Structure 1
Amino acid sequence: MRKAAITRLRRFGRMLLCVVITLVLMALLVACSGEAPGGGNRISIATGGTGGVYFVYGGALADQITQNVEGVEATAEATSASVDNMQLIGDESSDVAFSLADTAADAVEGREQFEGEPISAQGLARLYVNYTQIVTVAGSGIESVEDLRGRSVSVGSPGSGTEIIALRVLRAAGLDPDADIDRQQLGVDESVDAVRDGTVEAFFWSGGLPTGAVTDLATTDQIVLLPTIEYLDSLRNQYGEVYQEATIPAGTYEGFDQDVAVIGVPNYLVVNESMDEEMAFQITQLLFEQQEALAEAHPEARNLDITSAPQVPPLDLHPGARRYYDEAG
């Protein structure tokens, strides 16, 4: 009896040891199963608000990835745009993101909203230029940035690149965004609605041309766009060369009949530095091979240029993107 009990106890001990080993191995497998961004079969693209270029361009890019990269399904996610997108790249909640160059610079250098928490991001391409559009309507009495003093002004949604440049332009013009305007934080769609119902007198928007929401406003109201070029040197001196001269051409929007000189900011397509190299290569390749299809979704895709695309300072190019540009010559 005693011998049989000992035998059963030993068998139980061996079984228990096997269970423990199995559980440990399963835990190790789970811990090691996390893939680098772009290493799985789903790609998330962080874009922006539904009324902006990022959302349209990003949706078209997601479609092209799904159609042309075997075994991969990509989706475009609406976000608050640049700041939000860089944070999503930082914590690897998104695989690919659109961002303004100034926001991307803040993120990788750990300043402003990213103070002390730099983001490990790299660039795939410089896509096109964003135009700083300060929109009001005829008869508002607003003809310059200084005229915004005492007015109700939307500076863009919280966590957006629009908000960053809006606050910087206002300060360069000698206005305190917290004291000198009735500051609203609305996305471009909400800003258009607010202008129409009179709750906002002007709004900032940093976007490509044309922007759908602004086009929509121009069909019902005579819009006015304010020049910002006089503040370019101030912004460059403080934040670097990511800012550039740009012109919104006459005819961009209905009833808009004169060129306006504004501050431009390049847009980057960015990823976490841990993204799979082959996936980064294929996405970069798609931007060019499917450029016409992307441009059918939004004309800004036509502004992608093989010469300027690798220029994403102060970010480094992702090795997969660099391989594409090297092979493309």
Structure 2
Amino acid sequence: MTSAAVNRRQAMGAGLGALAAALAGCSGESGPVRRLRLATGPEGGPYNAFGQALAQAVAASGRRIEIVPVSTAASVNNLRKLDDGSVELALAMADAAGDAVLGRESFPRPAAVTALARVYVNYTHLLVPAAGPVRSVKDLAGRPVAAGAAGSGVQVVAERVLRAAGLSDTSATAPAPPPASAPATERAPDPSADERPLGLAASVSALREGSVDALFWSGGVPTPALSELAGEMPLRFLPLDDYVGALRERYAPVYTAVTLPAGVYGLTEPVGTIGVGNYLLARADVPQGVVRELLQVVFERWRDLLREVTAGARLEPRFAISTGEVPLHPGAVSYYRSVYG
């Protein structure tokens, strides 16, 4: 082999080595795409809309994160998935998230979940046909009520409202049933509401058809499915703000008094009700850097994220860090400190 051939081979080897080094440097600098599964809610619901909007916003940001929305039954189901590692991120109502951290009610042991942000407030809706006999929560005794899908946050708040009103069959104050041998004419009427585990679409259909006398929902204002229903039949929205104090005393201050404003759903005057925050949550083992990047997108694009979820809502840091019993993820703490001091 001539000296010229040796020099060419050496030069080619050097060039290939430099190219490999450059490619390795690029790969190390950008890193692989981090895929995060986000437990949302049923198709067509607000959690699902938020999850889809977040996935699109993250993809458009150019960051090496991919959000994969996962349809679920919502809050309780989401928290269980987060705890068992089948998702990395989740949306959940504050009351259910607090139960998960404390190992209370639906959760037999404390769940390992952390919060990234309190993103918006759900408004509790309790609606009945305007022409019907139900004018207060107490009037639901013995009546069929659409009380939220199994595993949803709606079911949690509906159960607690009914319990506070003495209308839940799990209430500690509910009277014992009469002996089975007692004649039917001597039996006291059942004071409990007949809770039906129905999601929003099924609840709307059931109220429209008359197979339930009332519908519980917890979501943004206005909720499109309820606006559509209000356009089809006259509705009455029952006030719930009298129950806020009892719920706060028993379950901590995740419940607040809020108002369904006049004008939505055809309301001619405001209706006081119960507000519950919604949290964006993560497993503690999601890297801090990924959390910081994700929160950058959330705060840059919050208007887009909330547009299809709840009208007029804003996402502010002092609001976002209020996550009650649920500790902030270390990456979230780092983000808020770096941006807001």
Q: TM over 0.5: same fold? A: yes
Mark the CA change 1:50 to 1:213 in structure 2 (over 3 Å): closer, same or farther.
farther
**C-alpha separation in 2, matches of 1:90 and 1:69:** 29
> Is 1:94 matched up with 2:94?
no
Give the C-alpha shift of residue 299 in structure 1: 4.0
1:317-328 to 2 correspondence within 5 Å? 317-328=328-339
For residue 219 of structure 1, what is the aligned residue in structure 2? 231
Three-state SS of the structure 1 residue aligned to 2:324 is coil
Question: Structure 2 regions of 5+ residues with no counterpart?
Answer: 1-31, 171-189
Q: Confirm or deny: 8 A CA contact 2:220 2:309 kept in the other structure.
A: no
For residue 118 of structure 1, what is the aligned residue in structure 2? 110
Q: Confirm or deny: 8 A CA contact 1:82 1:159 kept in the other structure.
A: yes
Question: Structure 1 regions of 5+ residues with no counterpart?
Answer: 1-38
For residue 256 of structure 1, what is the aligned residue in structure 2? 267
For residue 148 of structure 1, what is the aligned residue in structure 2? 140
For residue 121 of structure 2, what is the aligned residue in structure 1? 129
Give the C-alpha shift of residue 60 in structure 1: 0.4
**C-alpha separation in 2, matches of 1:159 and 1:327:** 36
The CA deviation string for residues 59-85 of structure 1, in whole angstroms up to 9 with x for no partner, is: 101111222253433222221111001
**C-alpha separation in 1, matches of 2:209 and 2:142:** 18
**What TM-score do the two structures reach when normalised by structure 2?**
0.81
> Is 1:247 matched up with 2:259?
yes
Give the C-alpha shift of residue 220 in structure 1: 0.8
**C-alpha separation in 2, matches of 1:205 and 1:234:** 19
The CA deviation string for residues 12-45 of structure 1, in whole angstroms up to 9 with x for no partner, is: xxxxxxxxxxxxxxxxxxxxxxxxxxx9632211
Q: Confirm or deny: 8 A CA contact 2:284 2:329 kept in the other structure.
A: yes
Q: Confirm or deny: 8 A CA contact 2:94 2:276 kept in the other structure.
A: yes
**C-alpha separation in 2, matches of 1:97 and 1:300:** 22
- 2:296 pairs with 277, 280, 285, which one? 285
1:269-284 to 2 correspondence within 5 Å? 269-284=280-295
Three-state SS of the structure 2 residue aligned to 1:219 is helix
Give the C-alpha shift of residue 290 in structure 1: 1.1
Give the count of matched residue pairs: 289
One-letter amino acid matched to 1:287: V
Mark the CA change 1:296 to 1:227 in structure 2 (over 3 Å): closer, same or farther.
closer
- 1:83 pairs with 64, 76, 91, which one? 76
**C-alpha separation in 1, matches of 2:65 and 2:276:** 31
**C-alpha separation in 1, matches of 2:37 and 2:313:** 23
Give the C-alpha shift of residue 247 in structure 1: 0.7
**C-alpha separation in 2, matches of 1:212 and 1:135:** 14
1:141-180 to 2 correspondence within 5 Å? 141-177=133-169, 179=190, 180=192
**C-alpha separation in 2, matches of 1:125 and 1:89:** 16
One-letter amino acid matched to 1:174: G
Give the C-alpha shift of residue 300 in structure 1: 4.9
**C-alpha separation in 2, matches of 1:241 and 1:186:** 27
For residue 268 of structure 1, what is the aligned residue in structure 2? 279
For residue 47 of structure 2, what is the aligned residue in structure 1? 54
